[in-house]
Amino acid sequence: MADWRLAHLSHPTILIVRNDGLGDFVVTLPLVASLKRQVPAARVFVLVSAAVAELVPLLPDIEGAIVDRGLLLKRHRKAFTAIEGRQGRRMGRHRLQADIESHGFDLAILPYAEAASAALIHRAGIPLRAGSLRRHFFWRFNLFNRESRRASPDPEWALNLGYLELLGLRREFAFPRFRLGPAVPAAPPRPYVVIHPHKRSGTALAWPGENFLAMAREAMEDGDEVGVIGDP
C-alpha cells in the first residue's frame, strides 16, 4: 500500500486524528508542516477536542477542524455520557461520522488512536488509513507504522514524522507556521520560550519535572522569556 504515493493525487484531502490533549496536538504540528511543504496542494484537516479546535485558525497549514466533543477517547467518554447519556453518545457518533464522510477524505493519519477513533474512521469509508501496527485494532488500518512509542528513544514529534515515509515522502522536520491575530499582544523584544511540562500517561517517554526546571533556568540565563502552560 505504501507505493500508492501522495503524488498520485492532485489535491489530496487528509484528516489527522489528534483528539487527545494540547501537548499531543502540538507535537503533531511538525508532521503537518512537513506534509504541507512536501505536498503544497494537500488540504489538511484535523479531528481534535473542542478546546484544541480554538487554535486551528492560528495555523495556516490546517484547512479546518472537526470537533470530537468527548465521544471517542476513554477518558473523555465518561464525562460526556454523564451529561448526555448513552443515547446522546450514539447520536453524537453518528453525526460525527456524517461530518467526516461529507469531506470525502482520501487519507486519515492517526498518530495516536484508541479503538473507538479507529472504528469511526474505518466506518466513515476513508480509503487510506495510517495507524500503528502495535494496537489490537490494527486491522482498521491499511498503512502501518511499526515503531513503538514505548520502546523508542525518540521524542514523540520525531516518531510522528515516521508517517511521512508511509506516504512516500521524506522524513524531515519542518517548523510549524503560526498566524497571530490582532487580539494577540505584540511579541516580546526577547526570545520567548513556552514550556508544557506535564504528562498524564506513561505511553511514551517523558522528562521528569526537574529537567523542565533546569531547561527553564538555562533559557532565562540566556536572556529568554519563559512561560509555562498546562492544567493545574
Q: Write down the pTM of the prediction.
A: 0.84
167-181 pLDDT, tens digit per residue, is: 989 999 999 998 876
The residues with which 15 forms a beta bridge, in sequence order, are: 45, 108
The residues with which 135 forms a beta bridge, in sequence order, are: none
Do 34 and 108 belong to one domain?
yes
Q: What was the pLDDT predicted at 3?
A: 42
Q: What was the pLDDT predicted at 2?
A: 40
pLDDT along the chain (232 residues), means of 10: 55 94 91 95 95 92 94 76 72 92 96 93 96 93 89 88 93 91 64 78 71 93 88 66
Considering the domain boundaries, does residue 132 fall inside one?
yes
The DSSP call for residue 70 is S
Q: What was the pLDDT predicted at 1?
A: 40
Do 206 and 154 belong to one domain?
no
Query: Which residues neighbour 44 within 8 Å (Cβ) at sequence distance 6 or greater?
Result: 14, 16, 32, 35, 36, 61, 62, 63
Q: What was the pLDDT predicted at 201?
A: 60
Considering the domain boundaries, does residue 208 fall inside one?
yes
CA atoms within 13 A on the CB side of 119: 10
* DSSP element (H, E) containing 36: helix 29-38
Domain with 200, as residue range(s), is: 192-228
Do 162 and 125 belong to one domain?
yes
Tell me the C-alpha distance between 217 and 38, whole Å: 37
C-alpha cell of residue 60: 495556516
